[in-house]
Structures are given as structure tokens and as C-alpha cells.
Amino acid sequence: MATAAHRWVMTAAGEPLIRQDFDPWAPGPGEVVVEVAGCGVCHTDLGYYYDGVKTQHALPLTLGHEISGRVVAAAADADRWMGRAVIVPAVIPCGRCELCERGRYVICRQQKMPGNDIQGGFASHVRVPAYGLCRIDEQRLAAAGLELADVSVVADAVTTPYQAVARSGLGEGDVVIVVGVGGVGGYAVQVAATLGAHVIAIDVEQAKLDAVARHGAAMTLDASEIEFRELKKAIRSFVEGNALRATEWFVFECSGTAAGQRTAFGLLTFGSTLCVVGFSMEKIEIRLSNLMAFDARALGNWGCEPALYPAALDLVLDGRVQLLPFVEQHPLSEINEVFEAVHAGGVTRRAILVPERTA
């Protein structure tokens, strides 16, 4: 192959990511090589890079688990994928173990998460298992006005809240509250809205609230401006004013912060469902028995099983979930600057890193 492959490697937390040439051209059994079109920058990547969250794979490691691209090499047993445009699931189950056989794909103990268990997508190429790849219909993609790089964020950012919403069982007319409407939470808002829910969005950044107000949120609340009591009162007024249910609210914690988790837990009421979608290392102090007193439940959600990817992608290709207002592309070579800007809160949209193609 003429094209050299390269990737950006994390050598230690906080140290500048380093560009490295490598040779991806040897897919093992069941594997493919994907020429990366784009890879989204997720809160989880920043957790590894800034907050000392440990990756499963020892450093040095290429981060990045929101990958779209095209299959350019494949093992003999995966050659049906050659040339196809695909989304790589953020969590790739093995598909063969006892847990997978019982449909518990997301807790498969042999699962591979690019940029955590194996080399990730901040690279020109990535080698991944073919199992679970999501095929992209390029005609529909073009008709939707999207580039292949744009749908990278379907892995994780769209599919993770999609699975959380699907599991919660929410539906038409339900009250949904999304805490943290950034890269992931914004899609929680949109997916819930496609199901006919009344969605209330909470964040500490007005720009993010403005964005979801145009795409699915019926009400927005800036938690940096008001006390929790006022927040709750505002929600109650909205619910009463619109003759919605006073019970069984669905609360999605997507901020991955202790403050967001406290807010989310505090909003539980009778029969409520709390979906824990965001991750934080921090502990919070809660009265666990509120779950009992409210007959409420808290559902953790890890990734999304590959079988749900096509339906999530359909929402995007049908234009029912909008990506373009929530993403922005950057050259992969600017990865260090982009990480810093995202970490500093200066990037409202999801950053997608796009490898430069040099012939």
C-alpha cells in the first residue's frame, strides 16, 4: 500500500499527543481495517487524558471511539465488508461468549472499545473486529446532506442515549428532563422528542441550551443561573401549565458531573426513571432510599448494543435527529489544540477530528 498510516498517541495523562506512523495492514481473523473519515472527541477521551481515568490498554494508546470510515482491508472471513462505509460501534462485543449468547452484549467481558481496549480512531486508519459494524447507505447519507465524517458521532454520542431512551420505555406525552445537553445529552433531547416526549433541557451553558431549544427541547433551564429549588419549581410550573404528568418523570443524567448527578437525583419523583448516561469519577451523597420511597429506579447505561445502531442511524438519515447543528470538523493534526479547547469549554459543538489525506 502506498499510503502511510498514522495515529496520534497518548503517552501519559496530560502530555501532548504525539503523531506516529504505523502499519495497520494486517487484519487478523474477523478483523477489518477502516480508513477513518472522522472520529468524535468525547468527554470520555478527556477523562482519560485530563482526569486520570485509566484506559484498559496500557499506554501509549490512540484514543477515540466515535469512528466512521470506509473498510479498506479485511480478513478473509470478513471480506464482505470491503469498500463499505461503516460506523464502528463504540463498544464492540465479541458476539460469541455466554453473555452475548444471552443478549447481554454491552457487558460482554471480551468487549473491545477503540481508544480504551484497543487502538482508537484519532488516526488515519484503525483495525477493528468486523463484528457489529454498522453499514451506512451512502445515497441516503448524501441525500441528508451529511458527510461520512459527520456520522462518526452516531457511535456513542447518538447511540448511547438512544439505547438509554429505548430501555427507559418512555413514550408519547411523557415528561423527560435531560441534565447536560452537550455532545451526548443533546441527542437524548432529540431522540426523546422523536418519540413525542415533552423535553426539558438543563445545562450550565446558554449556547448549548439555545441549540437544543431549536431541536427538540420544549423548555430550557440554565442551572448556573438559578438555585435547585427554583429549578424544580420552574419544572413543576411547566408540567402543570401544560397539563403533563406530575409523576413518572424520566431524568437523563448526561453531564457526567457530580453537580449534574445531584440535580438529576434531586428531580426524582414518584415512579421516576433516572438514566445514568454520563460518567464521573466523583462520588455524590444521596438518600438512596428515595428510590424506595418514590418507587423509582436508576438505570445505568453503558454504550449501545450494535443491533440498535441501524435504528439510531435511521433517525439521523431521516433527518429526525439533526447532527449538523451539533458538530464541527477539525483537522486531526490539530488534536492537541482541539482537546485543550474542548476541555476549556470553548467548543460548544461536538468536535470531529478528520485525518488529512495526503496522496
Site for a second copy, rule CB under 8 A? 99, 104, 106-107, 109, 247-248, 253, 256, 261, 265, 270-271, 276-303
From the list 133, 51, 48, the residue with the least C-alpha distance to 95 is 133
Q: How far is the CB of 109 from a second copy (least distance, A)?
A: 7
CB atoms closer than 10 angstroms to residue 109: 10
- Is residue 312 a contact partner of residue 162, using CB atoms and an 8 Å limit? yes
- Is residue 201 a contact partner of residue 209, using CB atoms and an 8 Å limit? yes
The nearer residue to a second copy, 68 or 301, going by C-beta atoms, is 301
Q: How far is the CB of 123 from a second copy (least distance, A)?
A: 25
- Is residue 66 a contact partner of residue 121, using CB atoms and an 8 Å limit? yes
Between vectors from CA 261 to CA 228 and to CA 289, what angle results, nearest 5°? 90
Q: How far is the CB of 269 from a second copy (least distance, A)?
A: 9
The nearer residue to a second copy, 282 or 318, going by C-beta atoms, is 282
- Is residue 103 a contact partner of residue 150, using CB atoms and an 8 Å limit? no
Q: How far is the CB of 186 from a second copy (least distance, A)?
A: 18
The nearer residue to a second copy, 56 or 237, going by C-beta atoms, is 56
Residue 316 phi/psi, 5-degree rounding, is: -70, -45
The nearer residue to a second copy, 73 or 268, going by C-beta atoms, is 268
Amino acid at 112: K
Cell reading at 219: 423548555
From the list 143, 144, 116, the residue with the least C-alpha distance to 128 is 116
Residue 123 phi/psi, 5-degree rounding, is: -165, 165
Q: How far apart are CA 92 and CA 117, in angstroms?
A: 10
Q: Which residues contact 237 (CB under 8 A, 6 or more apart)?
A: none
Q: How far is the CB of 268 from a second copy (least distance, A)?
A: 9
**The dihedral sign for the CA sequence 151, 153, 156, 162:** negative
The nearer residue to a second copy, 166 or 338, going by C-beta atoms, is 166
The nearer residue to a second copy, 13 or 299, going by C-beta atoms, is 299
The nearer residue to a second copy, 242 or 247, going by C-beta atoms, is 247
From the list 229, 222, 231, 131, the residue with the least C-alpha distance to 181 is 222
Q: How far is the CB of 280 from a second copy (least distance, A)?
A: 5
The nearer residue to a second copy, 209 or 264, going by C-beta atoms, is 264
- Is residue 153 a contact partner of residue 323, using CB atoms and an 8 Å limit? yes
- The torsion of the CA quartet 353, 282, 207, 66, rounded to 10 degrees, works out to 20
Contacts 24+ apart (CB under 8 A), 80-83: 81/32, 81/130, 81/133, 82/32
Q: How far is the CB of 209 from a second copy (least distance, A)?
A: 23
Q: How far is the CB of 320 from a second copy (least distance, A)?
A: 26
The nearer residue to a second copy, 260 or 355, going by C-beta atoms, is 260
Q: How far is the CB of 285 from a second copy (least distance, A)?
A: 5
First to last CA, the chain: 11
The nearer residue to a second copy, 62 or 280, going by C-beta atoms, is 280
Q: How far is the CB of 216 from a second copy (least distance, A)?
A: 23
